[in-house]
Structure 1
Amino acid sequence: MAYFSQYRAKAAINRIGLGNYAVDTGSDLFDLLSNSNGYWNRQGNTPENITINVTKDITLPRTQPNIYPKIKNVNVNFQGHEFFVDNQNGSAIIIPPTSTVQVMISNLNTIYTYGTNWYFSAPPSSNRGNFGAYVATRMGLLFSSDSSETKSVISSNAQITYNNVTYIVPRDYRVNQPLSSYYIPINFIGNNHIENGVSGRALGGSVQHQS
């Protein structure tokens, strides 16, 4: 876990190859995944298959935008970094019931054992803002479902894959639900270690496969 004394980085989306991007803030990650700030409108073309490399620890904004419908396959590679959230009851990219998108979270590394869900040194979600954010959320890890549809929809052709995800947050916090994807199945590949402080239905999710 990185510690910050001052936030100096300038937010930017860097294209490092065809369909390959790098981000250093949560707001830029959300812009790539949902077009929330109009990135794809400005580009004029959206690749169906993209890889997003997260270059440092980030904080996800206090929003729940839908994933951009032109994206069909996306791998968010955290490269050993972690994310925090501005909203412990939100801060997620929503996958609607009709979506067929295939999303992957790779190389996420979250280890947090403190008694409170609030981490004072978390970076701002954009290049402006104050330090401090939540660690655990009730909305899964980055991607989740439309909560208004979870009672009527029981399956989806979309899929979330966890690839080499380490999430060790052994306390409850009442919102610690890293598998809360509901109607969207979760697939596991690589080596994954998920440890949290809740059990039973509170875990959420629809775990499909583990290897």
Structure 2
Amino acid sequence: MDDEEDLESLGEKLYDLIYPKHADMAPKLTGMLLELPGAVIGQMLQDEALLTKALDRALAALQPDGSKPPPTKSDDADSVSSDSLGEQLYDLIDLFNTGHTQKITGMLLEQRKEAVLQLLSDPTLLEEKVKTALKILEDMSGCGQSQGETDVSDSLGKDEVEAIGETLFGLVQDIEPAHCADITGMLLEMDSSTLQKILSDRAMLEVAVQRAKNALEGALS
């Protein structure tokens, strides 16, 4: 009930801001923006620039544009260019205000095109992937040694760490056989919650492996 009341309250506030600019389409635009995560809607209510950007995207999605609707999972993935996907994904991720829009966009674009199209059509999934990507970025840059955070070996027992290490090694070997041992070691320095997340999500594991590979190659060069 509280969630419904919160959504109704957000809807009323959004409508009040949208109506002066787009009176005829205010109900439709409000409904579209209400599909975004609550945190993003809250930011838009505080930041007119973010709201304007979101409205521009919503209006663009409503345009016939050669009678083609916005990309969906049923579209032929090959017909959508990587540049177009990157631009759409960048605009959506930018609404989360992470301060790492470009890096996170690049990470998520390393997934298969079908997976990226799904992110564009599913705000909840996109929010989850952005949070995971942000955590991977933080863990990779801090090497799991930032204060207040522990790597997997500090939060789990020796046997559990060995089991996770073996599982992770096998998965990494499938993705990047050339540097699987080094990359596995780097990923094991991440905190346990992030590690468990990427172990259960093949797409995010591939992203994490690619990030580790890039960091490794940078260190070697």
Q: Which has the higher Rg, Structure 1 or Structure 2? A: 2
TM-score scaled by structure 1?
A: 0.25
Considering fraction of residues, name the structure with more strand: 1
Which of the pair has the greater relative contact order for Cα pairs under 8 Å at 6+ separation? Answer: 1
Considering fraction of residues, name the structure with more helix: 2
TM-score scaled by structure 2?
A: 0.24
